[in-house]
Structure 1
Amino acid sequence: MKKLLFNTNDSYAGLILRVSLGAVVFAHGAQKLLGWFGGYGFSGTMDFFTKTMHLPWLVALAVILLESVGAVALIAGLATRLLALAYTFLAVGILITHTQWGFFMNWFGNQGGEGIEYFLLWLGIAAALVSIGSGAFSVDRLLFSPKENSIHPEGAKRVIHQEVGS
């Protein structure tokens, strides 16, 4: 199970996808948790989610933490597949609530809310990360991937012996 969840390769695709998604999601999470970038902060967001959107407080808290702390972990490449799976479910929930405003984002402020185009990209990136893992320069790779796949003197010797012995 550990291998299924944490094993990854040294692909730059995983690195690019996780840093891109993590950076964009973190900005939203910072609005919700810290009040940065014009956000309402933790209390204001909890009030909005629980009183206006009628979400259970546990779901509201999970969204705030997933978009802030989870985004930092995603950028670092820690538990990438698990976080990406959680982001996949979150994106589906957001898509359901935003379909009423159409496809396009609210660039000109003439819609009641944002369309779904941004969240479709979010969903696609998250799904790709579930599939490929965190890639190069990740905590997952450092802690959980086999040494044969990394630049490590002992791992290199094993790979060389396997190739010569083949």
Structure 2
Amino acid sequence: MTTTTSAEAATEAPALTSAHDTSRPGSDIGLLILRIGFGALLVVHGAQKLFGWFGGYGLAATAKGFGSMGYNPGRFFATLAGLSEITGGVLLVLGLLTPLAAAIALGTMINAVHADWAHGFDGYQLPLVYAVAVAALAFTGPGRISLDHGRPWQRAGAVWGLGAIVLAVVAALITLAVS
């Protein structure tokens, strides 16, 4: 029978690792794929709204649609949504100011879910998927393959994730209240 010291047992036991643990490169690659995938798709959605790119309707038609959904003035809210999607998306792709990027994207998606609620699950399914993804990124942070990594402003974890969600909900509620 062998005996182990408490120090040996501690090194043998599986340890909890942080999102920034250098021994988990797969997590960093996964976060990079998630950030780039959802961030780029958000940029495309914003460009559709503002510029009509990627098969979008452009600002005039989007503004009319926003107005018909009760977001008045439609042009203001269409511009706000498009700029929020582009800004949040670019920041996510870069892994820069990640909790803020997640809050921007999440606030926009909360309004998108609200706007599509009447259409049932098929209507709000896509914005809900985006919301879940960016909420997860708010908590995990961007990973090591990002502009945030190792910088003094890098923030991740439960407090920052919760802060991003609170900011997103407050911003979404303000938008709904003034529209």
Q: Which bracket does the TM-score occupy, shorter chain normalised?
A: 0.5 to 0.7
Bigger relative contact order, structure 1 or 2 (CA pairs below 8 A, ≥6 apart)? 1
Deviation digits for residues 80-119 of structure 1 (CA, Å, limit 9, x no counterpart): 1111122222222211221222223xxxxxxxxxx22222
* Structure 1 runs, 4 residues or longer, greater than 4 Å off: none
Which residue number in structure 1 is paired with residue 37 of structure 2?
A: 20
Q: Distance in 2 between matches of 1:142 and 1:61?
A: 34
- Structure 2's unaligned 5+ residue stretches are 1-18, 22-27, 155-179
Residue 35, structure 1, aligned to residue 52, structure 2? yes
- Structure 1's unaligned 5+ residue stretches are 1-7, 105-114, 147-166
Q: Distance in 1 between matches of 2:99 and 2:124?
A: 23
* Identity fraction in percent: 36
TM-superposed CA distance for 1:53, in Å, is: 3.0
Q: Answer yes or no: is the 8 Å Cα contact 2:98–2:141 preserved in 1.
A: yes
Change (3 A) 1:82 1:52: same
TM-superposed CA distance for 1:72, in Å, is: 1.8
For the residue of structure 2 that corresponds to 1:20, the secondary structure is: helix
Q: Distance in 2 between matches of 1:132 and 1:13?
A: 11
Q: Distance in 2 between matches of 1:62 and 1:118?
A: 19
Which residue number in structure 2 is paired with residue 131 of structure 1?
A: 139
For the residue of structure 2 that corresponds to 1:143, the secondary structure is: coil
Q: Answer yes or no: is the 8 Å Cα contact 1:102–1:116 preserved in 2.
A: yes
Which residue number in structure 2 is paired with residue 151 of structure 1?
A: none
Q: Answer yes or no: is the 8 Å Cα contact 2:99–2:137 preserved in 1.
A: yes
Q: Answer yes or no: is the 8 Å Cα contact 2:63–2:77 preserved in 1.
A: no
Q: Answer yes or no: is the 8 Å Cα contact 2:39–2:93 preserved in 1.
A: yes
Q: Distance in 1 between matches of 2:49 and 2:150?
A: 31
How many residue pairs match? The answer is 128
Q: Distance in 1 between matches of 2:119 and 2:70?
A: 19
Q: 2:127 aligns with which of 119, 130, 133?
A: 119
Change (3 A) 1:46 1:133: same
TM-score by length of 2: 0.61
Q: 1:9 aligns with which of 1, 17, 20?
A: 20
Q: Answer yes or no: is the 8 Å Cα contact 1:30–1:36 preserved in 2.
A: yes
Moved more, 70-79 or 52-61: 52-61
